[in-house]
Structure 1
Amino acid sequence: MLQKTGIALLTGASLAISACVTAAPPPQLAAEEPYLFEPRNGDRVEAFKGTFEVPENRADPNSRMITLGYVRFPSTNPNPGAPIVYLAGGPGGTGVGTAQGRRFPLFMKLRGVADVIAFDQRGTGLSNHLQDCETDLAYPLDKPLFEDAITALYQHAARQCKEFWAANDNDISAYNTLESARDLDDLRAALGAEKINLWSISYGTHLAMAAVKIMDERVDRIVMTGAEGLHQTVKLPKRTDEFYGRIQSAIDQDPAAKAVYPDIAAMMRRVHAKLDADPAVVEIEGEGGAPITLVFGKADMQLLSAFSSADPRNVAQVLALYLAVDARQYEPAAALLYRYLRSGTLELSPMSTAMDIASGISDDRLALVREQAKAGLVGSFLNFPMPHIKDALPELDLGEEFRSLPYSNTPTLLLTGMLDGRTYPDSQAEAVAGFSDVTQIYVENAGHNLFMSDPEIGERIFQFLSGEQVSEGTIVLPLPDFTAPLQN
């Protein structure tokens, strides 16, 4: 085992945010060992696998210590800057898993600035000490789904899983964004760094915003894409409808696509109305090849839309499914619903479940979501199963102080995809309203996962983290293909 050298910088600032936080032993320097990192593209790169310990629950003086892990890619810069810590989305994504995928080249590029840390947040990957919960509950196959029944089923599942986690000594009350933010300050100290850079996407930006409330002066720079504010775990249905309006505008620029989809909102509402009046009954191939009959309706299609809205390519596939259902061709939608939603028993991940419930939603915003959902294209399902299960575990909610607007003078680069179906442009602007030094770049025709959509994006991130001036403006990508055939 190799032990990193350096001086751990100790701070009490992370204790100031809540009076209920107990004093914890100062973090030790991380323990590291050489590690041959192998991404899925077949490359290999010399790296270090590191670990450090933190209290699982800083509010509990008797809390156990848990080990958090990361992979460090050493900088190729002879004078490296502050370490760059990648914060995955989800919640539930892993930094190490992300580095193994399509973003691996960007991890390698950013080594030209500083060490790059693929960090696994508590409850994920190398830092997971919890057990997923598989319930004995399942969606019925012989009837369509309705929101009230779905909500009751998931609340039952959440309560069942609460008992399971407690019986297995899983303290899910310790799995919230505030504890993860304190982990970041401990990671900084364990790396022996005065400051760190935060490179974040989606829920990772949510975590970054919580971190600046605790350690703003110890953050050098922040990169965000798909910014999600601390009060925005549950998105507004009206903004989802506006997103589909932007999709329609993109479609209208392509005569071939416009001929197929002259009015996608009208098509979606027409399909919903048909399925409400006459649910689809389809015989498809089930587990082991045995035939099964699946009945689906409006809520099924809304869930399918919500789960597939992040990027234009996925939206194109969902629109193709709606087009088929509109023509009473039900088999493609039924097969997809069965594969991803209606087969097997319900399972809940403790980390992602607890994190979202803890970040929560205010009463005023919940009332607004419910009112807008009545006429919304996907109803209240964009963040399913939130807010549907919040009342099953209300003790996890961090409260309004946590959801208050963060303020920061830290230089921040915000990349906004104009066809982002998860975190919308107006919502992103609200999320960073308390940040005084924001450089925003709009990426036309890009969705939520835009890092690898154009080489210019990686170049702008590299320049920004290098301390160079990056001009605001727009990067224009080609129009998505909304006439692509359905994928199996």
Structure 2
Amino acid sequence: MTYTSLNRRAVLAAAALALPALALARASAQPASPLQAGPFRFKGWRGEETDADRGFFEVPEDRRDRRSRKIRLGYVRFPSTAAKPGPPIVYLAGGPGGEGTGAATGPRFPIFMALRAVADVIAFDQRGTGLSSTIPERPASTRPAPVFTEAGLTSYYRSELQRAWADWTKAGVAMAGYNTEQSADDIDDLRRHLGAEKIDLWGTSYGSHLALSVLKRHGDRVNRVALSSLEGQDQTVKRPARTDVYLRQVDALLGADPAARAAVPDLLALMRRVHARLEAQPALTAVTLNGKPGQIRMGGFGVQMLAGGLIANPHTLARLPGLYLALDLGRTDVLAPFLGDVANLLNLRGMPEAMDLASGISQRRLALVRREARTAVLGEALNFPMPQLAGAIRGVDLGEDFRTSIRIDHPALLIAGSLDGRTVLAEQDEVAAQFQRKSRVMVENAGHNVFEAHPEVRPLLVRFFRGEPVADTRLTLPTPEFRLT
């Protein structure tokens, strides 16, 4: 789920083994007091520390309501080492639900540090996350765990979201204010708070989705943008047929290894067989529930969701064939390392769900997704709980104007990994077409977490934000070695 909450819509892939970056995305920046503004020592990757400043500013929770309460948003600033710093570089985490400050504690920390040579670097926690947490946590649900089929999980999540939304509203939270347009306006308020005429944007996955809204609403206050793992404004739900194209690409990689080909003659057929059997007859599976041993019934849809997380990055993609071979033999015990504490995975956070509901999906795209999902390997599981939650809360969808593409004339550096199974290249190409002054970096055999995948990406980012020309570039990493056991 990037130091993005990468699989924000696929609850099973929140497990640390499937998506270890998610834990980093939600990790604390570890300040001495999260409520105190001012200088402190920031603890980064592998015990490294640096001087930083923590700051806060207030915004209306829902700018459309004059009576809206104010909420406090937080960030960490890494001061520039340049003699003449450029516009502040604001990092936009993915998800929605990832934390900018959390991303800076992980393997992306060296990039934050390197960019200080250009300007102040701002790790911003979007509304409802990290230092900007504004939605109260709900007690763990006492409801029985659902059957992990599409019908079971859809029913559970829709009813749970409606209950949670009512609880948060009663607690005084303007839940309708948690959408990408409001968050884009927060970015411009952050710019004013920093005293900057313009800012640069650096984002990934949902962070690119947010950046597009900033460019649409406040483009005259943005200097340049560097984005990876692009997600367009009508791409909250990915196209299932395009994921099938990606899976055929993975199957071709398996075919290059004689031993792998012998064990898995047809990856897509193997996956379909497992999904169909488990969806028809969910298997009793040992899990952890609220820290204690428990059981759930795992259907094919649950496995599809897990696969949606595994295909994000090569190191987890490599485990996909072995997992399905074991499941085909009836060994559901192999799921245990991927599931974490299922009770935690079933709890709603508010911000991710509200953001996705508001970004929504056009009727044209929804019809296309539903049609493709009937025959696609992962069906509609890749983006769960969207589009399954669409319409669960009335009046929050931002509408077609929000989802309409725009022409973008800002200098842009667009970075992609050829083995990104979350935002596949065909989807990213549609977003890239909006940028008129772009350079593209393709990292062969990298995945969704492409920023830190190759050592040459970091200097390219520094050169780009300095205003130096960056040509279209192709970098290469080794092909993943697939595990069959």
Answer whether TM exceeds 0.5 for this pair.
yes
Unaligned runs of 5+ in 1: 1-30
Structure 2 residue corresponding to 1:110, chosen from 115, 122, 129: 115
Looking at structure 1, the residues matched to 474 and 55 of structure 2 have their Cα atoms a distance apart, in angstroms, of 38
Structure 2 residue corresponding to 1:307, chosen from 306, 309, 320: 309
User: CA, structure 1 residues 484+185, in 2 after alignment: closer, same or farther (shift >3 Å)?
Assistant: farther
> How much is the aligned-residue C-alpha RMSD, in angstroms?
2.0
Which residue does the alignment assign to 1:27?
none
Question: Which moved further from structure 2: 49-58 or 116-125?
Answer: 49-58
Which residue does the alignment assign to 1:428?
428
**Quick one: which amino acid aligns to residue 331 of structure 2?**
Q
1:275–1:297 Cα contact (<8 Å) kept: yes
Question: Which moved further from structure 2: 41-50 or 225-234?
Answer: 41-50
1:432 is displaced (CA, Å) by 2.8
User: CA, structure 1 residues 283+223, in 2 after alignment: closer, same or farther (shift >3 Å)?
Assistant: closer
Structure 2 residue corresponding to 1:321, chosen from 320, 323, 336: 323
Superposed CA offset, 1:299-336 (max 9, x none): 22112112332112212223321111112222112x24
Instruction: Tell me whether 1:295 sits opposite 2:297 in the alignment.
Output: yes
Which residue does the alignment assign to 2:49?
44
| Aligned positions of 1:405-416 closer than 5 A | 405-416=405-416
2:260–2:484 Cα contact (<8 Å) kept: no
Which residue does the alignment assign to 1:203?
206
Which residue does the alignment assign to 1:13?
none
2:114–2:462 Cα contact (<8 Å) kept: yes
Which residue does the alignment assign to 2:239?
236
1:262 is displaced (CA, Å) by 3.2
Aligned to 1:380, the other structure's residue is in SS state: coil
* Higher radius of gyration, 1 or 2: 1
Aligned to 1:455, the other structure's residue is in SS state: coil
Structure 1 residue corresponding to 2:254, chosen from 251, 274, 293: 251
User: CA, structure 1 residues 49+248, in 2 after alignment: closer, same or farther (shift >3 Å)?
Assistant: same
Aligned positions, number:
449
Superposed CA offset, 1:126-162 (max 9, x none): 111111334443424xxx5332232121110111011
1:278 is displaced (CA, Å) by 4.7
Question: Which moved further from structure 2: 97-106 or 35-44?
Answer: 35-44
Which residue does the alignment assign to 1:20?
none
Which residue does the alignment assign to 1:452?
452
Aligned to 2:201, the other structure's residue is in SS state: strand
Instruction: Tell me whether 1:369 sits opposite 2:372 in the alignment.
Output: no
Instruction: Tell me whether 1:119 sits opposite 2:121 in the alignment.
Output: no
Q: TM-score, normalised to structure 1's length?
A: 0.87
Looking at structure 2, the residues matched to 184 and 278 of structure 1 have their Cα atoms a distance apart, in angstroms, of 48
Superposed CA offset, 1:250-306 (max 9, x none): 33334444343332111111222333455434567776665x554323222112112
Superposed CA offset, 1:377-424 (max 9, x none): 111011111111122113111000101102210011111111101111
1:213–1:407 Cα contact (<8 Å) kept: no
Instruction: Tell me whether 1:261 sits opposite 2:267 in the alignment.
Output: no
1:365 is displaced (CA, Å) by 1.0
User: CA, structure 1 residues 77+256, in 2 after alignment: closer, same or farther (shift >3 Å)?
Assistant: farther
Instruction: Tell me whether 1:354 sits opposite 2:354 in the alignment.
Output: yes
Looking at structure 2, the residues matched to 230 and 401 of structure 1 have their Cα atoms a distance apart, in angstroms, of 10
Looking at structure 2, the residues matched to 285 and 350 of structure 1 have their Cα atoms a distance apart, in angstroms, of 23
1:79 is displaced (CA, Å) by 1.5
Looking at structure 2, the residues matched to 256 and 123 of structure 1 have their Cα atoms a distance apart, in angstroms, of 48
Aligned to 1:248, the other structure's residue is in SS state: helix
**Quick one: which amino acid aligns to residue 283 of structure 2?**
A
1:70–1:120 Cα contact (<8 Å) kept: yes
Aligned to 2:40, the other structure's residue is in SS state: strand
Instruction: Tell me whether 1:137 sits opposite 2:143 in the alignment.
Output: yes
2:290–2:341 Cα contact (<8 Å) kept: no
Question: Which moved further from structure 2: 415-424 or 313-322?
Answer: 313-322
Looking at structure 1, the residues matched to 195 and 288 of structure 2 have their Cα atoms a distance apart, in angstroms, of 56
Looking at structure 2, the residues matched to 65 and 282 of structure 1 have their Cα atoms a distance apart, in angstroms, of 45
User: CA, structure 1 residues 289+34, in 2 after alignment: closer, same or farther (shift >3 Å)?
Assistant: closer
Q: Percent identity?
A: 45
Unaligned runs of 5+ in 2: 1-35
Which residue does the alignment assign to 1:17?
none
Aligned to 2:245, the other structure's residue is in SS state: helix
1:441 is displaced (CA, Å) by 1.3
| Aligned positions of 1:153-232 closer than 5 A | 153-232=156-235
